Chains A and B, each alone.
Chain A
């Protein structure tokens, strides 16, 4: 019998829990530790943020589902790791703090045989001065709660526009090294779509601001796609969409400060500029949670487990961009020091970015961090579950499963407007996520698998994915037939 503890119940953590329950017999114990009471389908936050979907349509409570499935659920947040145990507990454990109810603030030691750290990112709003959602005319769509507030503010702005006021809308990245450009890209297109629907588009100047070197980088060093049988770059695609919708753009911008309706940013050329706005949605930097780790005697061993995010089987040797290879990326998501600890999804420390690192003339790093959200999170969680099961069954003779982002396909359906008849989306598939220039010397990716499409069908796909993935997350009959 083994006890598997999963930290986090987001896309990665919940996927891991679902497969563990499906694959393992009831003699094994599965424990989920998460500070969140709900599961949320994050990609649909965009639609909450423009008032086209209610938060309740994208979330469901975790406790009843886990109870029904016989999974132990502890609503607490992990604070420290003790992979060797201590004087009292002779096995690895996690120190967690209850976040709700009578036990709020109390700590608990949760021991494990296998630990899956799927804690995702910390939304590091504090890394940019003045970027707290709800202040300085900025909002966020990173959580359903944030997205609800975003819609409230946008709705108020639309009312002002209906009364004849001209406004400025600014959407993009709120930090020089932010990632998740895709979410901001979706939001700006959806906001533009909604302003048309409310017949106030002519009252708004909409601006995109981003740390990307060129539009369409998306933290993936850009991409070459086949669109309608012709080759096109991500830059061409993004510029075409923005041009078509009258959206102006500011690129190569490292946002470092927000004041009331004013964003301050530095460009790669080393200039310091400002941009005014009445409504801003700027994606914050992502960071690790600042976990600490201790050995059996209480000695600090944080550097054995964390490099901001959790250390796994990646090659973390510092080397120049030209020497980066796809082999640097992790395959098994196993911590090299403690073989019973894994970190799928955003929780693992990437070896480096995917986009080319660039610094301004003042030495400020301005480039996107690598994305690991969505499909890579789900797929890496499945790989980790396969590995945990392999270790349970075969111990030291286990042959670990591999799923490198350099040998993994993904799809991104970026909504550009809601509506069964009038909606649209940009659908992109890429394979592999991390470009492999040895295998595909021309573009780093398989061009037969790397395609782009624009239109109403993409919206239907995104809507179908919304319902399918919530069905899957609820572990309803045959949920496992739906791929990550």
Chain B
């Protein structure tokens, strides 16, 4: 049985103010994950 999106989650997903801060957070997170570097895996 799949989980349901709750009313609170749905409100948060559409709320402009909350989403503005999520926008800042997501951009920072993406930048951090993608730009923090890459390398090899073998010794």
Contact = CB atoms under 8 A, between A and B. Distances in A.
B40 A461 contact: no
Could you say which interface size class chain B belongs to?
20 to 34
Interface of A: 228, 236, 239-240, 242-244, 326-327, 329, 331, 375, 379, 383, 402-404, 406-411, 421-422, 424, 427, 429-431, 436, 449, 451, 453-458, 460-461, 464, 483-484
B4 A409 contact: no
Dominant secondary structure at the A interface? mixed
Nearest to B22: A457
Interface string B16-41: 10111011011101111111101111
Nearest to B35: A483
Most B CB contacts (10 A, CB to CB) among A326, A424, A436, A454 go to: A454
B41 A404 contact: yes
A406 B2 CA distance: 30
Given A424-B13, A457-B20, A402 B36 contact: no
Contacts of A460: 19, 23
A484 B34 contact: yes
Contacts of B14: 422, 424, 455-456
20 contacts: A236-B3, A240-B3, A240-B5, A243-B4, A329-B41, A402-B38, A404-B40, A409-B36, A427-B30, A429-B29, A436-B41, A451-B29, A453-B22, A456-B14, A457-B19, A457-B26, A460-B19, A461-B27, A464-B27, A484-B34
Given A409-B38, A457-B23, A457-B26, 13 more contacts: A236-B2, A240-B5, A327-B41, A329-B41, A379-B34, A402-B39, A407-B41, A409-B33, A410-B33, A411-B30, A429-B33, A461-B27, A483-B31
Contacts of B31: 483
B4 A431 contact: no
B39 A407 contact: yes
Contacts of A407: 38-41
A449 B32 CA distance: 8
A300 B19 CA distance: 58
Contacts of B2: 236, 239-240, 242-243
A376 to B, nearest CB: 10
A88 B28 CA distance: 54
